[in-house]
Structure 1
């Protein structure tokens, strides 16, 4: 591959902020997918992840799409997404990270991926890392002017008011916020020179277990549950944002609730019900051999956590512990408390 920038490249990142920033900024919707830098040199195509690992084998249909729709020689930054109906579906996307080529190929046909481009690092023999974003955006629009779905160029605006509206509306299509990019910023790999505003909500959850921290006998994360309409305690995610001192304190706080025999625990029978992929301790396609064993707790503790949004019936990202809720009963921790965004059609964003 003979390009002015060689793979892999760590993509430029964004720092989280609480409110929408103002200034000489461009605003873009924040798509919830896999960050991907695409390298194309003729028929050679490399898809590189945020962690600089190859994604190429997991998205064979995108390799063909890149050859058909992107410039002959280019390096383009963007997001790989999969849609279900009128919204993004991260669960379907994560299923693509699978060791079996036959499974990957089947899913490539059943749930094909799309690519949303939002920056250009190189075209032909010229690298544009030092160019200001406003110039790179103009180059991107020109280079992809003829591109057809499933390749898209992300919408963009310089209007603070439009960005605020996008933040409120686009969540209904599965997007998770807005990214603000300074107009004069160069492309700085692995540097947080942009800003991201993401949704944050709170929920009261049952704490039904925990995992040990990798560094020793201190708490690594709390396993969170919500009761569904059928009276089952669903594992909805983890809370893991603790200082080391707080992790030590949690060991003593959780000790009275530990149970040796899991037989009566709400999650004891999940594997038998065919839900092993959703129970704590199941093998993760992302972590490989990482120890995901857990310690069961009597489901009597309730804590308030902050979360960004739901993906299906689970938190999309790690939740942030806020406080214990001794005034709440475990039985009151149901899905009904969660705010549901108003639906919004993804096609209205991509077109």
Structure 2
């Protein structure tokens, strides 16, 4: 009996240049999932092996478009207000039956296929990428696949890669993944991925760790009504930077975040122990394009430097995410 392979993984790279002999694909802000359609049954497995199918009835019903004994690698995504909405995927694993059906109707998911693992009973993982890609494109064309199925763009044109990294990030695309044209599909970290990042300024509202050398910073921005809104947390500060930042932080007796709790990570139930400070220090951090439904940075922001020459009024206003 044919079994889904372990997913092929990508190694982060700092250079966005497209290597010669490689193709680039869009890196989506969603859930990685391997899909297999066999004898009228859809297997939808997460990267860590979780069964996703019960939470996505729209993908199960749409699987009838696929030829039998076919398997794909791809990303489950949800669009909202013209932007990828990762937070709409949260909770789908716990939903079943009518609950899952209601979410599927409200925020339908799509499966963006970027690789072909099996085609009508033939194991294609031993094929080179260029052959798998051609067969994947032919599969979509021959069977006229429509929603919830979508074909991930692929290119060998550096100008197209640059366009993706400058224009497509506005809708939540995270970056690009590079795949060797002659590479087979193996459970190793042989692909490359580049995440689009940029620097932004934010206000320090609290910190974790020692007052003498804060470990991470909790960051905020003021909204148009003058309320300090939490926007995200920094990565762990280098020790020297933590000691330097400490000199600019003043414990707050009265703070807009008094009584708030902050989670240890996006989607985590663990709470952080934080020290609130007077929101006056501005810092520069590196962020990617991933946002939650409230407009906050979903991934920790990389520490760059302090900006003591700036005031909170010099930072951008908080922009909330789409409501719904």
What are the residue-to-residue correspondences of 1:157-176 with 2, within 5 Å?
Answer: 157-176=155-174
Q: Alignment partner for residue 92 of structure 2, among 91, 96, 100?
A: 96
Match of 2:155, SS? coil
Match of 2:308, SS? coil
**In 1, Cα distance between the equivalents of 2:261 and 2:97?**
27
**In 2, Cα distance between the equivalents of 1:254 and 1:280?**
25
Q: Is the 8 A contact 1:204 1:333 kept in 2?
A: yes
Q: Is the 8 A contact 2:54 2:96 kept in 1?
A: no
CA deviation map 1:193-252 (0-9, x unaligned): 223333221111111123359xxx985532110111111111111111445x459x4598
Match of 1:142, SS? helix
Q: 1:326 to 1:171 in 2, by over 3 A?
A: same
Match of 2:280, SS? strand
**In 2, Cα distance between the equivalents of 1:212 and 1:127?**
51
**In 2, Cα distance between the equivalents of 1:285 and 1:239?**
13
**In 2, Cα distance between the equivalents of 1:281 and 1:181?**
38
Does residue 185 (structure 1) correspond to residue 165 (structure 2)? The answer is no
Q: Which moved more, 1:92-101 or 1:27-36?
A: 92-101
**In 2, Cα distance between the equivalents of 1:169 and 1:182?**
24
Corresponding residue of 2:82: 86
TM-score of the superposed pair, with normalisation by structure 2: 0.84
CA deviation map 1:291-350 (0-9, x unaligned): 4443322222221101122635222422101011111122322338x9xxxxxxxxxxxx
CA deviation map 1:241-293 (0-9, x unaligned): 445x459x45982795334x5xx211237xxxxxxxxx6425978334x3444
What are the residue-to-residue correspondences of 1:1-351 with 2, within 5 Å?
Answer: 2-3=1-2, 5-6=3-4, 9-66=6-63, 68-94=64-90, 96-98=92-94, 103-145=99-141, 146=143, 147-191=145-189, 193-212=190-209, 220-243=215-238, 245=239, 249-250=242-243, 253=246, 257-259=250-252, 264-268=254-258, 280-281=261-262, 286-288=267-269, 290-309=270-289, 311=291, 313-335=295-317
**In 2, Cα distance between the equivalents of 1:102 and 1:233?**
39
**In 1, Cα distance between the equivalents of 2:44 and 2:249?**
49
**In 2, Cα distance between the equivalents of 1:106 and 1:308?**
31
Q: Is the 8 A contact 1:17 1:195 kept in 2?
A: no
**In 2, Cα distance between the equivalents of 1:97 and 1:335?**
34
Q: 1:153 to 1:301 in 2, by over 3 A?
A: same
Match of 1:207, SS? strand
Match of 2:170, SS? helix
Match of 2:281, SS? strand
The number of aligned residues is: 314
**In 2, Cα distance between the equivalents of 1:154 and 1:134?**
14
Q: 1:139 to 1:94 in 2, by over 3 A?
A: same
**In 1, Cα distance between the equivalents of 2:95 and 2:271?**
19
Q: 1:197 to 1:65 in 2, by over 3 A?
A: same
